[in-house]
Amino acid sequence: MLKNKNVQLGFAIFLGLIVLFLPRPEGTQFRVVGDGGRLLIEHLAQHFSVVPGEEGTADYILKARNPGAPEARQAFIAQKAAALDLPEIQVEYVDGLSPKAKRFLAVLVVLVFMFVAEPIPLEITAICIGVFLVLMGISDVKEAWAPYMHPVVVFIMCCLIFAISLDKAGLTKRLGYFIIKQAGDSVTRFTFIISIGLGLGSSVMHDAAACAVGIVTMLPLMRAAGIEPHSRTAKFMMLSLPFACSAGGMGTLMGGGRNMVAAAFLKEFTGIEITFFDWIKFCMPAAILTVPAAVFIVYLVYRPDPKIKLPQFDEALGPLTPMEKKTLAIIGATFILWLTKGVHGFDYSVTGMLGIAGLVLGGVLKWDDIQENMEWGTALFIFGGGISLGLAMGYSGAADYFAHLFFPLIQGGGWFLLFVGVGVFGALVTNAMANVAAAALILPIVIPMAQLEGVDPTVLALCLGTATSFAMLLVIGCPPNAIAYSYRYFKAADLTRVGLVATPVLLALLILVAATWWNILGLV
């Protein structure tokens, strides 16, 4: 019965109503903003005390002397301020769940279920994010829709358009041909070379595009060699690619939307900026380690038949054509502009769009090429909706509530315990939603936790950008999984089986890199 789309929609709304009508934790502490003259304190001294350390600050935190009493609530403080004719004073929740945050959680439950069950297309679910946030009074219209054209969204669109131009110019065909010439007729060698090559290549192009290029290159050879769907050889070849591309996407900021979201949210909430070069410096070693490891794990789980041989090709493609050279020059120049953002100061989205303009003016692309091949729904709605949802978690107060709820669990454990906890949580959550959405949802929660623990929030932004690359348990976990699955050469359970082995191993490698390489660089 749960397979019925209407039943799924009804169940999603039912879950939201349950959350909406559950008792709301009021908390014991409240931040008073706008009481510079401390006029309110003396009228609340019987019921509240000022938290130590807040005495000399412009804003301060009050702690209830008798939690649970009617006089220990946010509404009581607000009424006192109104009675004293102090309209400029605002009272915010510190360790409690505000009514707005509770409405957000109800919306979140509905949306997460819809992302998992897919009663409607994911793009429409992503549009519902903005709709629900406004209808439930969580965001105003501008706050809800502005993230759908966030600079990160524009940057991701640039990456997808660059992939379209590479394909149109013939460079993807040349890449595939080169790999085939190196691999010979060995299935194992061919799969390792193409998967590791495109896995590392997905650091500089979208992981979904890299996976699609690999499958299009691989499928004709598999058919020519007589490799049957659902055989161990087919599973090895078709699962190696998405796993390698997902892991490789962590290498640079442009490797996946999750990286850009992590960097953007870090700057949004803390003012700290991770540059293009910084991301490569911290994360590329993890990509270099995890890409071949992912392929090797798939090889161990699904050993290919060594008797199967791939066909040979003797034709040559000749030297680079003028169109290929022009495409490489424009994209290369754009890449240099991204690397040198610290020098010229222009945002990645601006220089990316400059590159797109160069491709069109240079005759590499036409508008029709972009319009027909662009995944507009993915770029605009899914990525933009994920950012809108993540930002709402921050300004609704839900992120602070969870930060105070979970902080005691990791308090005193330092950066390492926080890193491991956030990494494992991120890797699991990202299997149920787009990794962009997972990064956008979790980061607003963990940034306050890092600040409470005295840990540089940059560590957790990098942790989430990398750990959410391991969406290897479910087909819906990330686009490369879905692309590979669509050819029906393996079952969803086959992916889960190898994912159960790969996820903890790759997470362990990521933690190893953080504990050694980041320590050498002085980040931890």
Whole-angstrom CA distances from 315 to 173, 174, 177, 318, 403 are 13, 12, 10, 9, 60
Across 169-204, b (16+ Cβ under 10 Å) vs e yields bbbbbbbbbebbeebeeebbebbbbbbbbbbbbbbb
pLDDT of residue 340: 81
Distance CA 199, CA 209 (A): 11
Is pLDDT above 80 for 507? yes
Residue 488 pLDDT level (bands cut at 50, 70, 90): confident
**H runs (alpha helix) in 61-170:** 74-83, 99-117, 122-135, 141-145, 151-169
Residue 128 pLDDT level (bands cut at 50, 70, 90): very high
Residue keyed to tokens 């929609």:
9
Mean pLDDT of 195-214: 81
pLDDT of residue 221: 81
Is pLDDT above 70 for 365? yes
The per-residue pLDDT for range 14-73, each reduced to its tens digit, is: 999 999 999 999 999 998 988 877 788 888 888 999 887 666 667 888 999 998 888 999
| Mean pLDDT, the chain, integer | 86
pTM flag (> 0.85): no
Residue 160 pLDDT level (bands cut at 50, 70, 90): confident
Strands of 29-33's sheet in order across:
48-50, 60-64, 29-33, 90-93
pLDDT of residue 86: 86
Query: What is the three-class DSSP state of 50?
Result: strand
Residue 342 pLDDT level (bands cut at 50, 70, 90): confident
Is pLDDT above 90 for 283? yes
pLDDT of residue 2: 63
Distance CA 365, CA 370 (A): 7
% residues pLDDT > 90 (the chain): 38
Is pLDDT above 70 for 130? yes
Mean pLDDT of 103-120: 86
The per-residue pLDDT for range 347-359, each reduced to its tens digit, is: 888 999 999 999 9
pLDDT of residue 344: 87
Is pLDDT above 80 for 74? yes
Is pLDDT above 80 for 518? yes
CA 95 to chain CA mean position, Å: 27
Top pLDDT among 461 and 123 is at: 461
Distance CA 335, CA 342 (A): 13
pLDDT of residue 432: 59
pLDDT of residue 443: 83
pLDDT of residue 54: 61
pLDDT of residue 508: 96
pLDDT of residue 135: 96
Is pLDDT above 90 for 491? no
Q: For the ranges 41-45, 158-162, 197-201, 239-243, which has the lowest average pLDDT?
A: 158-162
Q: For the ranges 85-99, 246-260, 308-322, which has the lowest average pLDDT?
A: 308-322
Distance CA 224, CA 239 (A): 19
pLDDT of residue 68: 85
pLDDT of residue 314: 65
The per-residue pLDDT for range 417-446, each reduced to its tens digit, is: 889 988 888 888 776 556 776 777 788 878
pLDDT of residue 482: 72
Is pLDDT above 90 for 175? no
% residues pLDDT > 70 (the chain): 95
Distance CA 350, CA 282 (A): 24
Mean pLDDT of 468-488: 78
Distance CA 338, CA 278 (A): 12
Top pLDDT among 372 and 2 is at: 372
